[in-house]
Structure 1
């Protein structure tokens, strides 16, 4: 009698747990979530969860959560009835400075500029009538790869 393929079973179990973590971040993004709390919810260490999550989704749990918060912030800022500070706290961020920094990294402009510039709001895709899963994919900010800011630019080879 053959035994079940343990590595495959473990991988499927891990993927199901990662999906639960991602779904929790999508649902509870306004709550104070950290990797340790997310990991405890699926009975993993924070380091193990971070490694598995990044391998499965291509970004860390923190990065995913912040991107989700910025997506929601973009929509709230386009509405125009909340201040940047109100939007920051409405999407679950506790630091206006961190929120502004992450927003600028993902969107390319600070949240105050995004809120005030009608051209940026008009360039946003109209998602009315789209299923939520498609709207989320279309409006998801794209994180540009971050270069090592401490490394000096390479000198041209003059040889």
Structure 2
């Protein structure tokens, strides 16, 4: 009997899902929706959503919004753009939705983050961590526990 991991259809789907994820990473500023993403890899929208969540632990929409919020955090830290300009620069079409998702993922509204980027990460101790690990543990994540904001993560191999 063939295991699921070695199933040719499963491997093909994983390849297609990686293409979808890579497209979202590249084209996050574009108006992307699940039907358009699914059409690009010749899948139904429902199949793409189910397979994407199984492979990556979150829906395509959540993944895309997390990428957009990550880019927004960087733009807001620079301080050169207003919150509205950042919202549109990262591909969001609604300032209200952007602000709600930003607050949900980061723990503070974008205007507060722009004025004090350290406010959101105050509860996460990154002292002594390499920058690549500090970035990983302060990455915005959607909380499954109902709590919003940046959650403390333990680096790989840590306690």
TM over 0.5: yes
* Distance in 2 between residues matched to 1:19 and 1:135, nearest whole Å: 25
Asked if the contact 2:106–2:120 (Cα under 8 Å) also holds between the matched residues in 1, the reply is no
Q: In the alignment, which residue of structure 1 is the partner of 2:78?
A: 79
User: What's the secondary structure of 1:33's corresponding residue?
Assistant: coil
- The number of equivalent residue pairs is 140
User: What's the secondary structure of 1:69's corresponding residue?
Assistant: helix
Q: TM-score, normalised by structure 2?
A: 0.78
Instruction: Note the aligned Cα RMSD (angstroms).
Output: 2.6
Runs of 5+ consecutive residues of structure 1 not aligned to the other structure? 148-159
User: Which one has a bigger Cα radius of gyration?
Assistant: 1
Q: TM-score, normalised by structure 1?
A: 0.78
Q: How does 1:21-36 map to 2 (within 5 A)?
A: 21-36=20-35
Asked if the contact 1:80–1:115 (Cα under 8 Å) also holds between the matched residues in 2, the reply is yes
Asked if the contact 1:32–1:92 (Cα under 8 Å) also holds between the matched residues in 2, the reply is yes
Runs of 5+ consecutive residues of structure 2 not aligned to the other structure? 147-159
Asked if the contact 2:49–2:59 (Cα under 8 Å) also holds between the matched residues in 1, the reply is yes
| Superposed CA offset, 1:22-49 (max 9, x none) | 0000010000000000000000111110
* Distance in 1 between residues matched to 2:119 and 2:144, nearest whole Å: 22
